[in-house]
A and B are shown apart, each in its own frame.
Chain A
Amino acid sequence: MERHPFVFGIRHLSPAGAYYVRDFLDRADPELVLIEGPADFTDLIEDLGAEEVKPPVAVMAYTKELPIRTILYPFAEYSPEYQALLWAKEHGRRCRFCDLPSQVFLGMRAAKEAKEGALPAQEGQQAAEREADQSQGGSRTEEFDVYRALDSQCQDKDHETFWERTMEQAGDAAGYEAGAREFGRSLRQMEQRGARDYAENLVREAYMRRQIEDAVKEGTTPEKIAVITGAYHIEGILGSDLPMTDKEEKALPRLESMKTLMPYSYYRLSEHSGYGAGNRAPAYYEYLWKGLLRKEPDYGARRYLTGLASFQRNHGGLVSSAEVLEAARLSQALAELHDGRIPALRDLRDAAVTCMGHGSFSELALAAADTEIGTRIGSLPGGVSQTSIQSDFYEKLKDLKLEKYKSVTAAELSLDLRENLRVKTKKSAFLDLERSFFLHRLRVLGIQFASIQSVRQDNATWAEQWSLRWTPEAEIQIVEAVLKGDTVEQAAAFELKNKLEENQSIARIAEIVEQAFYCGMPVMVSAALEHLQAMAVDGAGVTELADTAGSLSVVIQYGDIRRLDRRPLIPILSQLFLRACLILPQECACDDGAAGPLASAVSRLQTVSVAHDFLDRERFLDVLGQIAARDDLNTRLSGLAASILLEQGVMDSEELGREVERRLSRGIPAELGAGWFAGLSSRNHYALIARLTLWEKLSGYLDELDQEEFKRALLFLRRAFADFSSMEKNQIAENLGEIWQVNPEQVSEVLGGTLTEDAMEMLEGLEDFDFGDI
């Protein structure tokens, strides 16, 4: 190319760049505006420029296949690219993106990852966003970091401040343009040749040159083309290297991808600071942008300091106007020390800390975060390019009156799932229930928009407490879910179905039943039930059966609150329960390790059996009776069974007394007896404490033991009583005192007193007890 197009060098998210790019375009008066950004995003320009679009918004490209890789291109109102495309729209000029298509970016990244060894999906995502930022140009590798090198050469030791002082405060378009050119040139010089990113930049520039050439071939003269690109690329585009050939273009790696628009947040923009395109303080930059529009260069500074002060005042801090004035003066003096005409963010912040924060940043940290980063999130009108699931999500938000929760600060939402009898329409009567369905569906999809607060207990009630917070991450997760379905409901159904097919354990499937039930998806519930029935026939352990029965029981008990037909569940629960009863006794012959989970399974079955009339309770109690009576099972479980029977009134005190005597009689190894006792006492402490006969027997048992046996038993009993509170222990001691006919005051005196040294020694001796033969 002998005749060159106009090239305007920018930095993404630069208010001055955004302001002067319009100046530049007015002067250049191009027919075609080319903007750095994936070429395939061109058809989104129309939507991006729509009046109702409120930045920050981002274009997101994502692969159609797993693992999902994404690229994000955020735009703020003060993005030069955004202003350039608005200009083109206002003036009726053509406008295109001219960088490598997103498919190629994704393809190159996949290739790079393959080379460096596969990354886990999560990290892949992170890398993706970094990549998008690197489009600013400039390489950052572990060994060499252009921006760090830049930092060390700046007067402020910080390239962000350098940029702000020299570029954002350039004062006129010519100055900005010249500055950007010089900045880009220096970056190129500093960059280590041969770095991978450097090579990537060359490929991108070749592609951009090709785009320009294509435009010229179409008949646009080069003088009528304006290119808006990162300062770094100016030389590359205007340089003498040849544009990319067709063959080269074909050889680029590609991954099929889709694209969508999404709202973005200032918070998320700020997280990218330090990556060249960093925008450490989006809200502050917005002030700068407004200052430029108002032609008041110090507007940003004033707005920043007053913003800090009013945040402090609103949050109970004391900031006087005098202090704000002092801070303004100090920041000005600091700027002058660095040849600045107006203070940069760094000056403002340091001045604020000195004058308003009494010298410590921590006093102002919250205010600074609020004033520098802000909580703004963008919004898109209905009908612009979005994925179907995004539209569905926003429609649902509107429909369910959840729109006000679309905010980056977390908000609490309490739901009452019962029918609201005070409203007329059916829809509003069950509004909270619908909301709950919706939020549960999002949860199933792993979209972090809503998280349920107080963990649902086994006995779910009509109340739910949610915490809602919209983040760009949540939006990305929504977009990613588009591969699963077009609406939130469809995607959730797809997800559950997938889980159903992947899972072979009935407990997991019961969980899916439960989830489907919370999501209000009856079709899914019955599909899952069929699955469950098929599986339940095959062998499953008691613990698993109990977990499953527990999940189903909850659904049956509280199903009506979610207006769901529970009848199909009943036969399955009965079937599972019966099976559990049948295999329980034989499973109880186990070691102590297995007894733990089994014990909670028994307790759970007990809860289930009490909750439902249709279950065969007689059989269950009968089984427990067997377990309690048999000597060949794990004693702990036998003890537990006895305690349930006791609780249910099936076993009376007399029977208990007999049982205690038998279990603790002489000759039975102490650990077995103590284990039984531990099982007995594991459920209901008070029921035991209240039964004096029990303690009499226990006392009698201990009297019979010889020294060695006593030591052994002591260990186990100590363990058994570990769960008792000190109050309960005192009551036991009083019980024993009564049996030994000691008066209660004496007992509590002994208990309250400190241990004698002998006793201490003896207790320590117990720690060394040889467990070898147990």
Chain B
Amino acid sequence: MSNNNVQRLPAEQLFQKEIDTLIANEKYSVPTGWRMSPRSVLTYICGGSCGGMEITPKYIGHERLVEIAISTLVTDRALLLIGEPGTAKSWLSEHLTAAINGNSTRVIQGTAGTTEEQIKYSWNYAMLIASGPSKEAMIPSPVYRAMEEGAIARVEEISRCASEVQDALISILSEKRISVPELGIEVPARKGFSVIATANTRDKGVNEMSAALKRRFNIVVLPSPESLEAEMEIVKTRIAQLSESLDLSAKLPEGEVVEKVCTIFRELRAGATLDGKQKLKTTTGVLSTAEAISLLANSMALAGSFGNGDITDYDLAAGLQGAVVKEDEKDQKVWEEYLENIMKKRGSRWLSLYKECKELNR
């Protein structure tokens, strides 16, 4: 299977060149089990230049939080990234492992159906029944493999797992070993082993993490982008990367379009206009930066497939309607209020977008 046909390449392949350059130009000492120094990891994530190559920033704003995250992993503590939906938790966790281990695929996706076996190990039952427990019949989990290899495992959406499954991690993180009583062995973690978990603060249907588990993590809270400018930059960078990989045949959205989308999202998220003068109702769903990105990508797809390649206000309005009005009628009213009270009064620059939105929101 050629790489070109894969819908989404893992980070380490997508940015292989950058990683290779960083490794080739390493100047600082590299911790055991890592492929590059903490400082290079920081450069990889927050951008910079190395060996004559421009490293694209993967995470924009809050560089200090990235520093804290990397330092946590240096001290072989487990890292827990907490934040609202769409604040680039998984994104950051993927890139951290890509840079540190060159492998971001040791992932456990936390769901309500995740079992303890998926965290530790499970069995190839045919072999187990045929020839009894053996190393060959065991299927190690990503965490198990990470321990053996001295690498970092990722646990996504840890708060979606049932509490008893979450707690399986406690012994792993404190003992740093997995015992397999069936085989009478114990696998100690090699140096460099750690876990990056992500958890959501606002979604419904999450299980509160136990204090015991929280204590085993260093917690970094990822906030929404600080300013409109920061958010716009994030959106622009990601859109450019996305349109490359998705082959969207539309032009990249202009600055003004990005600004409008980010403004609307920020205002509805914060429940107040950007200048803080007017209060607004907020929507039931979280309007995250990630959604702004997908909204624009969607609009680009619309424009590319059915329009002339330029994102029109019509395309944008369709996307906005879908993003803002998600669940119930309440959202529709919030959106209508926003249109009438805020957008309509913003003057000519917003007028045509307002008209299109209004048309759709009937």
Scan A156-195; emit 1 where CB is below 8 A from any B CB, else 0: 0000000000000000000000000000000000000000
Bound Cα distance A326, B75 (Å): 8
Bound Cα distance A1, B254 (Å): 64
A323 lies within 8 A of chain B by Cβ: yes
Nearest-neighbour CB distance to chain B for A107, whole angstroms, equals 43
B86 lies within 8 A of chain A by Cβ: no
Number of A-B contacts (CB under 8 A): 50
Bound Cα distance A739, B69 (Å): 81
| Cβ-defined contact, A330 with B214, below 8 A | no
Smallest CB-CB separation from A156: which chain B residue? B64
Smallest CB-CB separation from B73: which chain A residue? A333
Max count, chain B CB within 10 A of own CB: residue among A351, A354, A358: A354
Bound Cα distance A333, B72 (Å): 8
B122-130, B217-225, B312-320: which lies at the interface = B217-225
Smallest CB-CB separation from A333: which chain B residue? B71
A355 lies within 8 A of chain B by Cβ: yes
| Cβ-defined contact, A337 with B75, below 8 A | no
| Cβ-defined contact, B218 with A337, below 8 A | no
Other-chain residue from A329, A337, A351, A358 in contact with B38 (beta carbon distance below 8 A): A337
- Which A residues between 282 and 331 are near B, CB-CB below 8 angstroms? 320, 322-323, 326, 329-330
Residues of B within 8 A of A332 (CB): 75
Max count, chain A CB within 10 A of own CB: residue among B71, B72, B215: B71
Other-chain residue from A337, A355, A359 in contact with B42 (beta carbon distance below 8 A): A337
Residues of B within 8 A of A358 (CB): 214, 219
Residues of B within 8 A of A326 (CB): 75, 77, 218
Residues of B within 8 A of A323 (CB): 215
**Interface residue total, chain A, C-beta cutoff 8 A:** 18
| Cβ-defined contact, B71 with A330, below 8 A | yes
| Cβ-defined contact, B219 with A359, below 8 A | yes
A660 lies within 8 A of chain B by Cβ: no
| Cβ-defined contact, A320 with B215, below 8 A | yes
A511 lies within 8 A of chain B by Cβ: no
| Cβ-defined contact, B42 with A329, below 8 A | no
Bound Cα distance A336, B71 (Å): 9
Smallest CB-CB separation from B81: which chain A residue? A359
| Known contacts A337-B42, A358-B214, A359-B82: A330-B68 contact under CB 8 Å | yes
B336 lies within 8 A of chain A by Cβ: no
| Cβ-defined contact, B67 with A337, below 8 A | yes
Nearest-neighbour CB distance to chain B for A330, whole angstroms, equals 6
A659 lies within 8 A of chain B by Cβ: no
Smallest CB-CB separation from B211: which chain A residue? A318
Nearest-neighbour CB distance to chain A for B120, whole angstroms, equals 24
Nearest-neighbour CB distance to chain A for B100, whole angstroms, equals 14
A350 lies within 8 A of chain B by Cβ: yes
Bound Cα distance A351, B39 (Å): 18
| Cβ-defined contact, B215 with A354, below 8 A | no
Residues of B within 8 A of A355 (CB): 218
Bound Cα distance A754, B72 (Å): 64
Contact residues of A with B, CB < 8 Å? 320, 322-323, 326, 329-330, 332-334, 336-337, 350-351, 354-355, 358-360
Contact residues of B with A, CB < 8 Å? 38-39, 42, 64, 67-68, 70-72, 74-75, 77, 80, 82, 214-215, 218-221
Task: Write 22 A-B pairs (CB below 8 A) sorted by A numbering.
Answer: A322-B215, A323-B215, A326-B75, A330-B75, A330-B218, A333-B38, A333-B72, A334-B67, A336-B38, A336-B71, A336-B74, A337-B67, A337-B70, A337-B71, A351-B71, A354-B68, A354-B72, A354-B220, A358-B214, A358-B219, A359-B80, A359-B221
Known: A332-B75, A355-B218. 13 other contacts (CB 8 A): A320-B215, A323-B215, A326-B218, A329-B75, A333-B75, A337-B39, A337-B67, A337-B71, A351-B68, A351-B71, A358-B219, A359-B80, A359-B82
